[in-house]
């Protein structure tokens, strides 16, 4: 039998035997690829067989990148979040919070104190999961104005209802100028800059691009958000996630926070210029501007996350709760809240557990 088989093999030319082996190898490879494709489609949300959920994130555009613009511009990192990610820009935190309340957003990146505290005060289901940065605004005044007292009887333009609004009014209070300086709330920082240049206001509290524009036109900074924060009125930009998403899919939120932490490491690390330049397109700015602007922005280091957020969800002594207490009183004084949320309520809307796990290396499971 073996002699017959050997003879039969010899009867088939060598090139035909090689061709058959090649065809067989191709067939096996094709079968493996098809099987993997079928597995990927059928496994969907990590082997559960369910389709991937939709996850919409709002973040600000402009010359300063952040963790979400890195996530938006890096497909490999985005794939670590088991969801169909959608990114939309937002100009005002109040508007973004309203969209979250209606179910249109699952996360907001870079939303400040008044919108978050206002949301908590009106029973909007929102939780803070990451502390991203301080504001980087400065109060730009004409060269002739060199002391705060010279602003008495004058007007200042600012983004209405924003963290900047809160910071500016807090600073005016510290300088005993609350009753003598008119604060003009405008729809955007660009509008505040335009009002300054047009002479409608004497000063403007603005950041980044508008700030540079006004300085180039002869203005100078009298104070800035970081200095105001050190005086006890910190404006914090945070990542806020809807409580419904946290309740219904905590594993997804954990993956998202893990991606946020990794993105922060990428754009603050050794190869930051690469990732920042890569994000310029989604930020809508030239790459040569975004690197310097982002590197100089007052981001909160990952090592300080649990300092600001606290280590538990009921930590009423954490700095962010204290900042939100002041914000609540500010909003009541402005007639935008009937009463300030108490510390215990504020603390239950700060959830450090996701970033705590991410920083402890719990992002692989």
How would CATH label the architecture of 137-230?
Answer: 3-Layer(aba) Sandwich (3.40)
Mean pLDDT of the chain: 86
Structure tokens at 94: 């109040």
State the pTM of this model.
0.78
Superfamily, domain 54-134+236-359: Periplasmic binding protein-like II (3.40.190.10)
| 88/58 Cα distance (integer angstroms) | 5
**Where are the extended beta strands (E) located within the chain?**
54-59, 84-89, 107-111, 126-134, 137-141, 155-159, 182-186, 203-207, 220-224, 236-242
SS3 category, 156: strand
- Asked which of 13-27, 41-55, 250-264, 335-349 is least confident by mean pLDDT, the reply is 13-27
Give the pLDDT band of residue 91 (cuts 50, 70, 90).
confident
Question: What is the reported pLDDT for 42?
Answer: 40
Considering Cα of 98, then 237, then 247, then 253, what sign does the dihedral take? positive
Beta bridge partners of 236: 134
| 96/105 Cα distance (integer angstroms) | 8
Average pLDDT on 313-340 reads 92
Q: What is the DSSP-derived secondary structure letter of residue 303?
A: G
pLDDT per residue over 201-225, tens digit each?
999 999 877 888 899 999 999 999 9
Question: What is the reported pLDDT for 25?
Answer: 58
Kindly write down the DSSP assignment for every residue of 28-57, as one continuous string: HHHHHHHHHHHHHHHHTTTTS-PPPPEEEE
């Amino acid at each position: 039998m073996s002699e017959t088989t050997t003879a039969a093999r010899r009867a088939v030319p060598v090139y035909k035997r090689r061709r058959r082996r090649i065809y067989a190898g191709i067939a096996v490879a094709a079968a493996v690829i098809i099987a993997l494709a079928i597995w990927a489609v059928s496994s969907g949300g990590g082997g559960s067989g369910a389709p991937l959920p939709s996850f919409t994130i709002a973040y600000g555009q402009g010359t300063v990148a952040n963790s979400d613009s890195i996530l938006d511009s890096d497909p490999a990192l985005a794939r670590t979040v088991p969801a169909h990610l959608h990114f939309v820009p937002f100009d005002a935190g109040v508007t973004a919070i309203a969209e979250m309340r209606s179910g249109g957003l699952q996360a907001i990146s870079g939303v400040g104190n008044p919108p978050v505290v206002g949301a908590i005060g009106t029973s909007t289901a929102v939780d803070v999961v990451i502390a991203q940065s301080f504001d980087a605004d400065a109060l730009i005044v004409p060269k002739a104005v060199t002391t705060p007292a010279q602003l008495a009887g004058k007007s200042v333009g600012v983004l209405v209802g924003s963290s900047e609004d809160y910071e500016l009014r807090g600073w005016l209070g510290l300088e005993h100028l609350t009753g003598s300086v008119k604060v003009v709330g405008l729809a955007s920082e660009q509008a505040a800059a335009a009002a300054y240049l047009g002479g409608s206001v004497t000063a403007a509290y603005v950041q980044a691009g508008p700030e540079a524009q006004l300085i180039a036109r002869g203005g100078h900074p009298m104070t800035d958000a970081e200095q105001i924060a050190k005086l006890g009125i910190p404006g914090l930009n945070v990542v806020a996630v809807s409580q419904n998403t946290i309740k219904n899919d905590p594993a997804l939120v954990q993956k998202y926070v893990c991606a946020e932490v990794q993105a922060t490491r990428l754009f603050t690390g050794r190869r930051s210029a690469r990732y920042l330049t890569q994000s310029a397109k989604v930020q809508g700015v030239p790459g040569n501007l975004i690197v310097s602007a982002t590197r100089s922005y007052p981001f909160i280091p990952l090592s300080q996350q649990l300092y600001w957020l606290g280590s538990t969800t009921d930590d009423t002594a954490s700095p962010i709760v204290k900042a939100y207490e002041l914000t609540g009183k500010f909003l009541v004084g402005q007639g935008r809240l009937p009463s300030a949320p108490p510390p215990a309520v504020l603390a239950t809307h700060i959830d450090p557990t996701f970033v705590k796990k991410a920083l402890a290396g719990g992002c692989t499971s």
